[in-house]
Chains A and B, each alone.
Chain A
């Protein structure tokens, strides 16, 4: 939307205390709207820079609530999804965006951290399973979990997930992936060097 003095009430209602982008002003940088007045927006970037956006002149404002995705963030896979029950805020905030990180045993809800979101908005990254598995085989567990695709992840204990649902188990010693028939076509291309064991028919 083009934020200016004519729609300052909408800006306040939908974007105050949320993260947005000003694409024409600063590209993909994320800004927190700290305060809305009739003249200015007081904003703080994800890197801590403070700025004023002049509402007399107006500024194109973009909101950045992403769709559901798994992606790599540091040494863990992160999972981000929208919370539809709390969508009255249009900018991104902890009321409408949920994220979790994959630990050694399961997905845990993480505190809302704009660094994790920025990691997704700027350039989500994915890893090749075998490039990390060789470290796990050598008992190097710096990498706790890895995002393989926007839906699929794996941790060092061999649990394989679609979103946050466990759909496979990788056995490092046997170099074998166990899954169900229905997930075979999704997982096999990512574990193409390994043996495959399929449970049941569905």
Chain B
């Protein structure tokens, strides 16, 4: 089975950056949207790996801070470092600001990446339970469960990617080339997280993404449909796949949350005649 980078035609990186092209370890890129910025000079001095760009969706002296690919710990350290050195006014966050995390998927096989999509789809309500209901109604962060995209889950990764939309909260568009042939990173983008400088919230979020990725990476051959058909309780299974999100929730709560998304995932097995 080909990997994501083989399937989508990415070249093997020879840069000095962490080698995202031949390691299955967790790597990510982070985009922080922040408004009301008073001074960014200290960030530039202390964190040259951070790219600072204008973003037209932001107001009130807003900028986007991007870094990566980096490992889990460096992602946390850089987040904390940016907030240590950045000077902002009273309103750095608004409904326009968010945190996007790109998780490297280049070295997953296409089927592993598809299983990751399906696992996310099943537990999507837990991700939104963490970031809050307001994000569900954000037009740039639409839950998969609100769309007709689950009808594409039965397709292979390439067909799924072709049908995808970048404004979904869970965005697989960056995994392969854009419809206009634009550059691609071999990543899956998580767009849920609201703008925050709280290190504990960001850490819990990043830990969750790492857990989801690592579950797929370590459980080669995992098949969500076979798991469902085996009679496994998918609510309790959340504590295996994404323990950080599942902790503190009762099985009843998780069951209620995933009742509808479980149907979405079942559709990935095809219809009456498959």
Contact = CB atoms under 8 A, between A and B. Distances in A.
B272 A168 contact: yes
Contacts of B139: 14, 87-90, 96
Contacts of A182: 225, 228-229, 266, 269
A164 B149 CA distance: 11
Interface in B182-230: 225-226, 228-229
Nearest to B266: A182
Interface string A66-104: 011000000000000111110111100000101000000
A83 B144 CA distance: 10
Q: Which secondary structure characterizes the binding site on chain A?
A: mixed
B147 interface: yes
Contacts of A162: 263, 266-267
Contact of A165 (B166, B168, B260, B267): B267
A171 interface: no
Interface stretch (A25-33, A132-140, A173-181): A173-181
Contacts, number: 79
Given A163-B150, A180-B269, A87 B225 contact: no
B251 to A, nearest CB: 17
B140 A87 contact: yes
Nearest to B138: A87
A166 B272 contact: yes
Contacts of B274: 180
B244 interface: no
Contacts of A85: 165-167
B229 A67 contact: no
